[in-house]
Structure 1
Amino acid sequence: MVVSPKIFFNDCYGKYAIAAVNVFTMEQVHGLFSAAQRANAPFIVQLTPVARSYAHAKMLSAMIDAAAKIYPKAVYAVHLDHGNEEHAFDAINSKKYQSVMIDASHDDFETNVVRTRTVVEKAHQANMVVEAELGVLAGVEDDIDIAEEHSCYTQPSEVAVFVNATKCDSLAVAVGTSHGAYKFSGGQGIQFHILKEIQDRLNGFPIVLHGGSAVNVGEIERINQAGGKLTEGAAGVSSEEIVKSIQYGICKINIATDTRLLWARVHREFFKQTPDLFDPILPGKEYMQEYEKFMLQKFELLGATGKAERIRTNNKIVMSR
Structure 2
Amino acid sequence: MSFVTPKEIVMDAFENGYAIGAFAVHNLEIMKAVIHGAERMNSPVILQTTPDTVRYMGLDYTVAAVKSLAEKAKIPVALHLDHGDTFQIAMQCLRAGYTSIMIDGSSLDFEENIRIVKKVTEASQAMGIPVEAELGSIARNEGNGEKTDRLMYTDPSLAGEFAKLTGIDFLAPSFGTVHGVYADEPDLDFQLLEEIKDASGIPLVMHGASGVSDEDIRKAINCGIAKINYSTELKLAFAAELRHYLQSHPTASDPRKYFMSARENVEELVKEKISVLIEKQRVS
TM-score normalised to structure 2 length: 0.91
* Alignment counterpart, residue 62 of structure 2, candidates 60, 63, 69: 60
Counterpart amino acid of 2:61? M
Q: 1:277 to 1:9 in 2, by over 3 A?
A: closer
The CA RMSD over aligned residues, in Å, is 2.1
Q: Which residue of 1 aligns with 2:19?
A: 17
Q: Secondary structure of 2:3's match?
A: coil
**Aligned ranges 1:112-131 → 2 under 5 Å:** 112-131=113-132
Q: CA deviation at 1:294?
A: 1.3
Percent identity for Structure 1 against Structure 2: 34
Conserved 8 A contact 1:18-1:304: no
**Aligned ranges 1:193-232 → 2 under 5 Å:** 193-203=191-201, 205-213=202-210
Counterpart amino acid of 1:180? G
Once residues 63 and 189 of structure 1 are traced to their aligned partners in structure 2, the CA distance between those partners, rounded to angstroms, is: 38
Q: CA deviation at 1:147?
A: 5.4
Once residues 166 and 290 of structure 1 are traced to their aligned partners in structure 2, the CA distance between those partners, rounded to angstroms, is: 40
Q: Which residue of 2 aligns with 1:289?
A: 264
Once residues 186 and 210 of structure 1 are traced to their aligned partners in structure 2, the CA distance between those partners, rounded to angstroms, is: 17
Once residues 90 and 109 of structure 1 are traced to their aligned partners in structure 2, the CA distance between those partners, rounded to angstroms, is: 25
Q: Which residue of 1 aligns with 2:170?
A: 170
Residue 246 (str. 1) matches residue 221 (str. 2): yes
Q: Which residue of 2 aligns with 1:319?
A: none
Once residues 97 and 305 of structure 1 are traced to their aligned partners in structure 2, the CA distance between those partners, rounded to angstroms, is: 29
Once residues 198 and 37 of structure 1 are traced to their aligned partners in structure 2, the CA distance between those partners, rounded to angstroms, is: 32
**Aligned ranges 1:1-321 → 2 under 5 Å:** 1-13=2-14, 14-71=16-73, 73-83=74-84, 84-94=86-96, 96-140=97-141, 148=147, 152-181=152-181, 183=182, 185-203=183-201, 205-213=202-210, 236-303=211-278
Q: Secondary structure of 2:276's match?
A: helix
Q: 1:4 to 1:149 in 2, by over 3 A?
A: closer
Q: Which residue of 2 aligns with 1:315?
A: none
Q: 1:266 to 1:168 in 2, by over 3 A?
A: same
Q: 1:38 to 1:133 in 2, by over 3 A?
A: same
Once residues 103 and 116 of structure 1 are traced to their aligned partners in structure 2, the CA distance between those partners, rounded to angstroms, is: 8
Matched positions, count: 277
Conserved 8 A contact 1:17-1:304: no
Once residues 206 and 146 of structure 1 are traced to their aligned partners in structure 2, the CA distance between those partners, rounded to angstroms, is: 29
Conserved 8 A contact 2:148-2:177: no
Alignment gaps of 5+ in structure 2: none
